[in-house]
């Protein structure tokens, strides 16, 4: 058979889709062919309101002109420059600009191509930093149950989602997990941080006592756990983790892949909660999701610890072919400008109470057992169908798509995170559509 003869129009088989029910999808595909601002267009010409900013990444809205033009211009001017031992101006410019919006002290940026790579990079920096300052016995990494830190081996090791871990063997050794903070019985229908559960931070004290602090390099948490169903932290919890880490020389890593770049109404969740990590992991909203890129921020003392030794030597044996890629850097710069010019972070902040009120108005709808909101994030938890977990929420997802609204589901939880340009009318539309759909589910 010639290569040509193999190409069948509309063949969906070759593409093994990520985190998808491939067989089900290929029987009844859902395709987007265009997007603009708050809406997608489907292959059958319908408009779909984006309730999830794509996958939590399109914070400025779709096909924004400044970003599109920056990418077009950059592709025509300098398409690629070697990332190792060579540079190009835009990567430096983007890193500098990023440090101006980052929490104080996070003054150095390592570029990657995704959230998962940013997580691996952060974990490796943490281990190498401890070793560089003569504390090589600190090899342990501490994560948390229900944590999501991407899909690479470090990330699934410190992550706490059994379905993402169980198929993949021994994972990293020397990892332990704190308990998660989800407690709907005490914190049901929460807005912002939850009232109860600060004492769960003491779980880190237990782990430190078990392993001895001299063996622990870093703790990694999402300030607000996203993928496992939007779990805001209890009041005072992150501050307490910070204290415990400081007391024992342990680095604190915030995974801000979802919470970064305005999602919380502040540049980062670190600002929202008033707690600064030693390392901050970001991706997604950095380039508005348009070009893959991640950025890991580190404190001066961490960067400086690597900058000893002979000057001709590579200080940190890590990096990617596409670290700081010119087109991604151009997209990042144009994205930051768009956020700034349109005041999108401030807009998200102003909308937070409106958003909370609107989403919480779904309380009392049939099947709804809990609602959580924080920043421009919302979660609506549904009672699972007995013996068929995830099915009810997935039906809501399909019905919402048919009725012109994009939502995400995780387990039996509906997650919402619209682009920060969402209008109050569109928030109303999201709620009205969901009210009809969720109430009408089997």
Q: Site residues (CB under 6 A) for ligand PXG?
A: 55-56, 114-116, 119, 148-150, 222, 226-227, 255, 257-258, 283, 408, 410
**What stretch of H or E contains 47?**
strand 47-50
CB of 409 to ligand PXG, least distance (A): 8
Q: Which is nearer to ligand PXG, 306 or 401 (CB)?
A: 401
CB of 3 to ligand PXG, least distance (A): 32
CB of 418 to ligand PXG, least distance (A): 13
Q: Which is nearer to ligand PXG, 55 or 354 (CB)?
A: 55
Q: Which is nearer to ligand PXG, 57 or 95 (CB)?
A: 57
Q: Which is nearer to ligand PXG, 119 or 400 (CB)?
A: 119
Q: Which is nearer to ligand PXG, 116 or 157 (CB)?
A: 116
Beta bridge partners of 382: 368
Cα separations in angstroms, 115 against 80, 289, 370, 423, 434: 21, 11, 28, 28, 29
CB of 116 to ligand PXG, least distance (A): 3
Q: Which is nearer to ligand PXG, 114 or 187 (CB)?
A: 114
- Find the residue with minimal CB distance to ligand PXG: 115
CB of 17 to ligand PXG, least distance (A): 13
Nearest in space to 282 (alpha carbons), one of 332, 334, 343: 332
Q: For residue 306, which phi and psi values (nearest 5 degrees)?
A: -90, -15
Report d(CA 60, CA 421) in Å as an integer.
6
Report d(CA 111, CA 108) in Å as an integer.
10
Report d(CA 350, CA 442) in Å as an integer.
36
Nearest in space to 109 (alpha carbons), one of 333, 419, 348: 333
3-class state of residue 432 by DSSP:
helix
Cα 181 to chain centroid, rounded? 18
CB of 113 to ligand PXG, least distance (A): 8
Q: Which is nearer to ligand PXG, 32 or 306 (CB)?
A: 32
Nearest in space to 48 (alpha carbons), one of 413, 360, 344, 430: 430
Q: Which is nearer to ligand PXG, 283 or 328 (CB)?
A: 283
The DSSP result for 119-146, as a single string, is: HHHHHHHHHHHHHHTT-TT--EEEEETT
The 368-374 sheet, strands edge to edge:
190-191, 368-374, 377-382, 413-416, 408-410
Angle at 152 between CA 148 and CA 157, to 5 degrees: 60
Q: Which is nearer to ligand PXG, 255 or 412 (CB)?
A: 255
CB of 285 to ligand PXG, least distance (A): 11
Report d(CA 417, CA 195) in Å as an integer.
23
CB of 416 to ligand PXG, least distance (A): 10
Q: Which is nearer to ligand PXG, 258 or 430 (CB)?
A: 258
CB of 19 to ligand PXG, least distance (A): 7
CB of 294 to ligand PXG, least distance (A): 7
Angle at 283 between CA 281 and CA 287, to 5 degrees: 145
């Amino acid at each position: 058979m010639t290569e040509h003869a193999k190409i069948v129009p509309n063949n969906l088989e070759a593409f093994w889709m990520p985190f998808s029910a491939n067989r089900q999808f290929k029987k009844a595909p859902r395709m987007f062919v265009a997007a603009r601002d708050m809406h997608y267009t489907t292959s059958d010409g319908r408009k779909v309101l984006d309730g999830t900013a794509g996958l939590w990444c399109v914070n400025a809205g779709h096909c924004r002109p400044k970003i599109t033009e920056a990418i077009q211009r950059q592709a025509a001017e300098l398409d690629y420059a070697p990332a190792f031992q060579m540079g190009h101006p835009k990567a430096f410019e983007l890193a500098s600009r990023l440090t101006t919006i980052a929490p104080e002290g996070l003054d150095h940026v390592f570029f990657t191509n995704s959230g998962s790579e940013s997580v691996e990079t952060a974990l490796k920096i943490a281990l190498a930093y401890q070793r560089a300052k003569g504390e090589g016995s600190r090899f342990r990494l501490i994560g948390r149950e229900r944590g999501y830190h991407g899909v690479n081996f470090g990330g699934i090791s410190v992550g706490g989602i059994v379905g993402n871990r169980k198929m993949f063997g021994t994972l990293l050794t020397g990892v332990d997990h704190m308990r998660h903070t989800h407690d709907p019985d005490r914190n049901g229908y929460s807005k912002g941080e939850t009232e109860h559960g600060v004492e769960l931070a003491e779980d880190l004290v237990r782990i430190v006592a078990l392993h001895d602090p001299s063996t622990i390099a870093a703790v990694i948490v999402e300030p607000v756990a996203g993928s496992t169903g939007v779990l805001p932290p209890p009041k005072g919890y992150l501050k307490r983790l910070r204290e415990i880490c400081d007391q024992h020389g342990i680095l604190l890593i915030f995974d801000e892949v979802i919470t970064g770049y305005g999602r919380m109404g502040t540049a980062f969740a670190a600002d929202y909660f008033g707690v600064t990590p030693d390392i901050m992991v970001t991706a997604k909203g950095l380039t508005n999701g348009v070009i893959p890129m991640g950025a890991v921020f580190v404190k001066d003392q961490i960067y400086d610890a690597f900058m000893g030794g002979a000057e001709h030597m590579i200080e940190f044996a890590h990096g990617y072919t596409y670290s700081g890629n010119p087109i991604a850097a151009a997209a990042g710069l144009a994205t930051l400008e768009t956020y700034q010019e349109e005041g999108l972070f401030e807009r998200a902040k102003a909308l937070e109470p409106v958003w909370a009120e609107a989403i919480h108005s779904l309380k009392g709808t049939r099947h709804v057992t809990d609602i959580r909101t924080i920043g421009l994030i919302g979660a609506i938890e549904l009672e699972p169908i007995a013996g068929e977990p995830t099915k009810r929420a997935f039906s809501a997802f399909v019905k919402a798509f048919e009725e012109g609204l994009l939502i995400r589901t995780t387990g039996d939880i509906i997650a919402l995170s619209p682009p920060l340009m969402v209008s109050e009318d569109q928030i109303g539309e999201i709620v009205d559509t969901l009210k009809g759909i969720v109430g009408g589910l089997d």
